[in-house]
């Protein structure tokens, strides 16, 4: 099981296939006796898949429209998929080299404390914004459901989003976020994945057999005005496919930590995710054309029974994704808590970061802060580009830096080392471009 404070459990005798022994330039990381990886391969696939299948699913039809049609958007998606899978494999390899069990630990162990601090800061900001986006999506779906169930002109106080979202956060999201180990999320991840699949199926079926009042456009309605408009959907792609923050924790929870096995898990997860996203993006865009909303469910009639069910199930899907994000953000705060306690003279039983008291306090604090931000966030689409830009650090930049640093300390043939370092540089450059492009676009929208 994953301990946010422990090192990554390494199979004895492994090398590039997932081991940590005999590496020059890195200190040996002791494996605690309590660490016993217990996550199956299927469980890892579902958690990784559910980490990616979040609120981004609603934005893909809008991204297809923004890119200028199905063909350019699909091309961007396929190109991104190469780097997305590569990033996951690199993170598994980097975890085995560094012996760390968290994303920020891997980056700090391989790239140095300065880059590690930058990673922690980006990690917290990105995960906070993702959590806010998740809660905002859940709140929007609750609001629509209340409109259907209580169609009166004057809604009662208990149907207001502030009450319903707060109640759901306290009674459902908070208990799901409390467990110490990420392996627990494999059960809710299966349910969340099935709910996301239902939404994709509904969008496909509605295209062919939807209500008569639904306006369809069977051909792409726009063409990309320039390559800039095509590249502008990269942040949305990154937001949709981001599961890299959870990759190290999932990898270190698996029984089989060989690199080839982790690569297979990564490929299966992202190919399944790509299929669901592509079906949603293509058919959602073909149904509404240029009129598609940034939240595809908002484009459908609110009183359609099939859409009502899809809205409820997608809310379930996002609810099950939130605890995974919180677990990762909490691990950073636990690391900071542990360092602070060490500076002040050690840990007591009540101040142990992974203990129930500190873990419960950090969980309640995370839910309270993100809930407050979600209730006052004006528009979900305004932060998607920013989140996608920041996520480029975790998908491209940090994995690229880790690959360069890991290749420099691992014994391997010079030709292989050169290839790995070149790919690491390419990954860093691509991530820098995406971050710069999304940041410029966000600034321009403000003015």
Give yes or no for a contact between 347 and 163, defined as CB atoms under 8 angstroms apart: no
Burial code (b: 16+ CB inside 10 Å, e: under 16) for 24-56 equals eebeebebeeebebebeeebbbbbbbbbbbbbb
Q: Which residue has the tokens 């602070």?
A: 340
pLDDT value at residue 29:
41
Q: How many CB atoms lie within 10 A of CB 240?
A: 30
Burial of 444 (0-12, 13-18, 19+ CB in 10 A): exposed
3-state secondary structure at position 303: coil
Q: How far is CA 266 from CA 80, 88, 262, 270, in A?
A: 14, 6, 6, 6
pLDDT value at residue 228:
63
Contacts of 294 (CB under 8 A, 6+ apart): 58, 59, 62, 380, 381, 384
Burial of 223 (0-12, 13-18, 19+ CB in 10 A): exposed
pLDDT value at residue 130:
84
Report the distance separating Cα 95 and Cα 110, nearest Å. Answer: 9
3-state secondary structure at position 349: coil
pLDDT value at residue 404:
93
Report the distance separating Cα 71 and Cα 82, nearest Å. Answer: 17
The number of residues making up the chain comes to: 447
pLDDT value at residue 74:
86
Q: CA geometry: angle at 138 spanning 135 and 142, to 5°?
A: 135
Q: How far is CA 302 from CA 142, 262, 403, in A?
A: 12, 42, 48
3-state secondary structure at position 116: helix
DSSP H/E element including 65: helix 60-67
Alpha helices (H) along 289-397: 305-343, 356-375, 381-392
* 171 secondary structure, DSSP code: I
pLDDT value at residue 91:
94
Report the distance separating Cα 294 and Cα 63, nearest Å. Answer: 8
3-state secondary structure at position 231: helix
pTM recorded for the entire structure: 0.78
pLDDT by 10s per residue, the chain, length 447: 333 334 454 443 333 333 333 344 444 443 333 345 677 888 888 888 877 877 678 888 888 888 878 888 888 888 888 999 999 999 999 999 988 888 888 999 999 989 988 888 888 888 888 888 888 888 888 888 887 777 766 777 777 888 888 998 899 888 888 877 766 666 777 777 788 888 889 999 988 886 555 555 444 444 544 566 667 777 778 778 888 888 998 898 888 888 899 999 999 999 999 999 999 999 988 888 888 887 788 888 777 788 888 888 888 888 888 888 888 888 888 877 777 765 555 555 556 666 677 888 889 999 999 998 888 765 665 566 667 677 788 889 999 999 999 988 888 888 999 999 999 999 999 888 888 777 666 655 655
Four-CA torsion 352, 358, 363, 364, nearest 10 degrees: 180
Report the distance separating Cα 58 and Cα 220, nearest Å. Answer: 19
Q: CA geometry: angle at 107 spanning 174 and 330, to 5°?
A: 10
Greatest Cα pair distance in the chain: 72
Give yes or no for a contact between 133 and 55, defined as CB atoms under 8 angstroms apart: yes
DSSP H/E element including 111: helix 103-111
Contacts of 19 (CB under 8 A, 6+ apart): 10, 11, 12, 13, 96
């Amino acid at each position: 099981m994953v301990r946010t404070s422990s090192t990554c459990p390494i199979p004895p005798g492994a090398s590039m296939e997932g081991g940590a022994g005999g590496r020059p330039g890195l200190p040996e990381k002791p494996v605690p006796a309590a660490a016993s990886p217990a996550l199956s391969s299927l469980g890892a696939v579902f958690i990784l898949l559910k980490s990616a299948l979040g609120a981004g699913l609603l934005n893909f039809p809008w991204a297809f429209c923004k890119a200028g049609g199905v063909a350019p958007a699909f091309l961007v998606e396929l190109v991104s998929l190469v780097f997305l899978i590569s990033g996951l494999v690199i993170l598994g390899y980097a975890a085995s080299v560094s012996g760390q069990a968290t994303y920020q630990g891997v980056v700090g162990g391989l790239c140095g404390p300065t880059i590690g601090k930058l990673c922690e800061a980006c990690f917290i900001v990105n995960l906070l914004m993702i959590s806010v986006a998740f809660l905002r999506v859940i709140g929007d779906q609750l609001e629509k459901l209340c409109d259907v169930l209580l169609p009166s002109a004057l809604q009662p106080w208990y149907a207001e989003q502030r009450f319903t979202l707060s109640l759901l956060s306290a009674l459902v999201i908070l208990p799901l976020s409390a467990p110490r180990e990420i392996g627990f999320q494999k059960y809710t991840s299966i349910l969340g994945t099935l709910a996301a699949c239902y939404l994709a199926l509904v969008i496909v079926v509605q295209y062919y057999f939807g209500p008569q009042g639904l306006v369809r456009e069977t051909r792409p309605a726009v063409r990309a005005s320039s390559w800039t408009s095509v590249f502008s959907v990269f942040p949305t792609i990154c937001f949709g496919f981001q599961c890299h923050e959870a990759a190290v924790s999932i990898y270190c929870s698996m029984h089989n930590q060989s690199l080839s096995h982790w690569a297979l898990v990564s490929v299966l997860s992202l190919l399944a995710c790509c299929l669901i996203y592509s079906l949603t993006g293509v058919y959602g865009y073909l149904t509404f054309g240029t009129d598609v909303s940034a939240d595809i469910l908002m484009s459908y009639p609110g009183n359609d029974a099939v859409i009502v069910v899809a809205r409820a199930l997608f809310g379930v899907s996002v609810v099950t994704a939130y605890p995974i994000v919180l677990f990762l953000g909490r691990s950073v705060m636990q690391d900071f808590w542990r360092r602070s306690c060490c500076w002040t003279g050690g840990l007591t039983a009540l101040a142990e970061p992974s203990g129930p008291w500190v873990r419960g306090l950090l969980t309640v604090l995370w839910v309270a802060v993100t809930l407050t931000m979600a209730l006052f966030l004006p528009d979900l689409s305004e932060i998607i580009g920013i989140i996608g830009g920041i996520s480029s650090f975790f998908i491209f930049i940090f994995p690229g830096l880790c690959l360069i640093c890991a290749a420099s300390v691992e014994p391997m043939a010079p030709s292989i080392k050169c290839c790995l370092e070149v790919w690491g540089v390419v990954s860093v450059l691509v991530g820098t471009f995406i971050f710069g492009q999304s940041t410029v676009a966000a600034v321009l929208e403000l003015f």
